[in-house]
């Protein structure tokens, strides 16, 4: 049972990556009980990073590389292959990729081919990042099975837990994580773990939820899930990706820079309102974050 943190990418105001903040944040998350870091994911603004920035993120976290799943997806397959080659010098847990996106009506065969090429190039285990509502394509267990493609793992960002569980029943050896914050408790209970963006700002809550699941205390674990879901609702009012930078600063006590347009930072009033709401909410609960 693992907590995987899709780490946010901290940007400076000039749009460059704040490397010190990235290192500090990753180290803090792992110290507080997060098991693995998902680098260049959605929360890390992966689709908006250049190939050089994706490499840079891994260089910055090279000391922690065996705790990293390195996301390499791109619409330019040459970039994907270059990133896989680059990654081969690092001792990674896995590489991962979302499917091709944007282009409509891609034949199933082409989607599968993309992952077959990745698998043929990588010396590391390959994890599928399936996010149908973002990419427009569902790389389901049925589809993998239809083409006989076995991958080492999957992060399924899906509100349908049965869809994630189908990977496990079809491929018992596959590592299966659900990527929805609102299903983190159920993912810890029934899958190999959760990949949850809220673990950026609530690492200790996630760790305690995992411990509660491990000792069979579902009621306690549910209280943590409710807290996580409440924070998601607060964050979504202002745009969840931008809000996460503010939430992380509030709960972890250090600056993690800001997002980069087209993911815009919260303005001063929004940040203040979010801070007030979150601090008031957490005050009564007596939980560590």
Can you say which residues are annotated as belonging to the binding site for pyruvate?
Answer: 43, 195
70, 131, 137, 238: residue in contact with ligand FW2 (rule CB under 6 A): 131
Three-state SS sequence of the chain = CEEEEECCCCECCCCCECHHHHHHHHHHHHHCCCCEEEECCCCCCHHHCCHHHHHHHHHHCHHHHHHEEEECCCCCHHHHHHHHHHHCCCCCCEEEEECCCCCCCCCHHHHHHHHHHHHHHCCCCEEEEECHHHHCCCCCHHHHHHCCCCCCEEEECCCCHHHHHHHHHHCCCCEEEECCHHHHHHHHHHCCEEECHHHHCCHHHHHHHHHHHHCCCHHHHHHHHHHHHHHHHHHHCCCHHHHHHHHHHHHHCCCCCECCCCCCCCCHHHHHHHHHHHHHHHHCCCCCC
Least distance between ligand FW2 and beta carbon 42 (Å):
3
**Among residues 113 and 134, whose Cβ is nearest to ligand FW2?**
134
**Among residues 105 and 167, whose Cβ is nearest to ligand FW2?**
167
User: Which residues are annotated as catalytic?
Assistant: 129, 155
Least distance between ligand FW2 and beta carbon 155 (Å):
6
Least distance between ligand FW2 and beta carbon 143 (Å):
19
Instruction: Determine if 179 is a binding residue for ligand FW2 (CB under 6 A).
Output: yes
d(CA 220, CA 134): 32
9, 157, 164, 251: residue in contact with ligand FW2 (rule CB under 6 A): 157
Spacing of C-alpha 22 from chain mean position: 15
Least distance between ligand FW2 and beta carbon 37 (Å):
11
6, 193, 203, 265: residue in contact with ligand FW2 (rule CB under 6 A): 6
Instruction: Determine if 195 is a binding residue for ligand FW2 (CB under 6 A).
Output: yes
Q: Give the torsion sign (CA, 37, 31, 199, 56).
A: negative
Q: Which of residues 21-60 bind ligand FW2 (CB under 6 A)?
A: 38, 41-43
Comparing every residue's Cβ against ligand FW2, the nearest one is 41
d(CA 75, CA 137): 14
Instruction: Determine if 206 is a binding residue for ligand FW2 (CB under 6 A).
Output: no
**Among residues 131 and 206, whose Cβ is nearest to ligand FW2?**
131
Sequence ranges of the binding site: 43, 195
Least distance between ligand FW2 and beta carbon 284 (Å):
26
130, 197, 252, 289: residue in contact with ligand FW2 (rule CB under 6 A): 197
**Among residues 4 and 219, whose Cβ is nearest to ligand FW2?**
4
**Among residues 41 and 257, whose Cβ is nearest to ligand FW2?**
41
Residues that bind ligand FW2 (CB under 6 A): 6, 38, 41-43, 131, 155, 157, 179, 195, 197
């Amino acid at each position: 049972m693992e907590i995987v943190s899709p780490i946010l990418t901290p940007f400076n105001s000039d749009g460059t990556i704040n490397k010190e903040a990235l290192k500090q944040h990753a180290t803090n998350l792992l110290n507080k009980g997060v098991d693995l870091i998902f680098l260049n994911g959605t929360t890390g603004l992966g689709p908006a990073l250049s190939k050089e920035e994706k490499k840079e993120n891994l260089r910055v976290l090279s000391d922690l590389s065996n705790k990293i799943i390195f996301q390499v997806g791109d619409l330019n397959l040459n970039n994907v292959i270059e990133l896989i080659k680059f990654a081969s010098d690092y001792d990674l847990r896995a590489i991962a990729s979302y499917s091709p996106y944007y282009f409509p009506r891609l034949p199933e065969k082409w989607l599968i081919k993309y992952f077959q090429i990745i698998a043929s190039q990588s010396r590391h285990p390959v994890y599928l990042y399936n996010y149908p509502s973002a990419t427009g394509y569902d790389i389901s267990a049925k589809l993998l099975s239809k083409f006989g493609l076995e991958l080492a793992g999957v992060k399924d960002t899906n509100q349908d837990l049965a869809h994630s569980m189908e990977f496990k029943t079809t491929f018992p050896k596959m590592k299966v994580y659900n990527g929805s914050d609102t299903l983190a408790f159920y993912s810890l209970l029934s899958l190999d773990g959760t990949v949850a963006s809220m673990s950026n700002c609530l690492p200790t809550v996630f760790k305690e939820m995992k411990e509660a699941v491990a000792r069979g205390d579902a009621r306690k674990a549910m209280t943590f899930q409710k807290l996580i879901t409440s924070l998601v609702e607060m964050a979504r009012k202002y745009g969840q990706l931008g809000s996460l930078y503010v939430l992380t600063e509030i709960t972890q006590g250090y600056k993690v820079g800001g997002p980069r347009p087209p993911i815009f930072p919260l303005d001063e009033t929004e940040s203040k309102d979010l801070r007030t709401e979150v601090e008031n909410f957490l005050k009564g609960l007596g939980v560590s974050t």
